[in-house]
Amino acid sequence: MISKFFKKVKTMKGIIRLGDSTTHGGVVVQASSDMVIEGKPAALVGDLVSCPIPGHGTNPIIEGSQYMSFKGRDVAVDGCKTACGCALISSMPTVGSD
């Protein structure tokens, strides 16, 4: 159950998963978490995105949720940034627990 990963909040932005998009037109290419959300692994701070903008290439996610972590690493959520400056776009609208 996903609720065991929450630190303080009941509803939050959507979790970023393998294959989710970025605002630069890129995609999440690494999700090292074994936390699986609806069949796809969740991305954590330090996991990689591929950016199509010349000079950006493959770079890490540098921001994560202040409310959710997994094995000591913050979970990436909608709007978090990568090293090239793009924002992550979740394919899941929100996550919550009862």
What is 16-57 written as a DSSP string? PBTT-EETTS-EE-------EETTEEBPBTT-EEEE-STTTE
Yes or no: is domain 1-92 CATH 3.40.50.11030? no
The full set of domain ranges for the chain reads: 1-92
Asked whether residue 97 carries a pLDDT value surpassing 50, the answer given is no
Q: How confident is the model over 43-79, as pLDDT tens digits?
A: 999 999 999 999 999 999 999 999 899 999 999 999 9
Q: How confident is the model over 5-50, as pLDDT tens digits?
A: 555 555 678 999 999 999 999 999 999 878 999 899 999 999 999 9
